[in-house]
Amino acid sequence: GDSVTQTEGLVTLTEGLPVMLNCTYQSTYSPFLFWYVQHLNEAPKLLLKSFTDNKRPEHQGFHATLHKSSSSFHLQKSSAQLSDSALYYCALDPNTNKVVFGTGTRLQVLP
């Protein structure tokens, strides 16, 4: 079946350092991949969505590249900010309109 794996439950780093949150997936189809971000006591919000034409999506300084060969969609940012502290979900849509979410990675950015 379709699944998303986020191996890191918690990532802690210092403000200004680069961010990379890992995401790998399994799917029978060529799915769309997503990153959702959830700040404390707020709703999850769409951060990024993969494109069909291999363009790299970017938003708020974050970007992710879909690598079909390795089934990965890692989230990256060159310099972490305190406001980036949140719960990040990687997710996929296997073209069924039923998104499958990973278990989430909590990013904690320290001053």
Partner 1 sequence: DMKVTQMPRYLIKRMGENVLLECGQDMSHETMYWYRQDPGLGLQLIYISYDVDSNSEGDIPKGYRVSRKKREHFSLILDSAKTNQTSVYFCASSLVGNSDYTFGSGTRLLVI
Query: 10 Å Cβ neighbour count for 54?
Result: 10
Hey, is 27 helix, strand or coil?
coil
Q: Which is nearer to partner 1, 79 or 103 (CB)?
A: 103
| Cβ proximity to partner 1, 17 vs 58, nearer residue | 58
Residue 57 Cβ, how far from partner 1 at the closest point, in Å?
12
Pick between residue 40 and residue 53 the one whose CB is nearest to partner 1: 40
Which lies closer to partner 1 via its Cβ, residue 34 or residue 62?
Answer: 34
Q: How many CB atoms lie within 10 A of CB 102?
A: 22
Residues with Cβ < 8 Å from 51, sequence gap 6 or more? 57, 66
CA 111 to chain centre: 23
CB of 50 to partner 1, least distance (A): 11
Provide the minimum distance between the beta carbon of 66 and partner 1 in the complex, in angstroms, as a whole number.
15
Short-list 39, 44, 28, 30, CA closest to 90? 44
Which residues are at the interface with partner 1 (CB under 8 A)? 9, 32, 34, 36, 41-46, 49, 89, 93, 97-99, 101-104
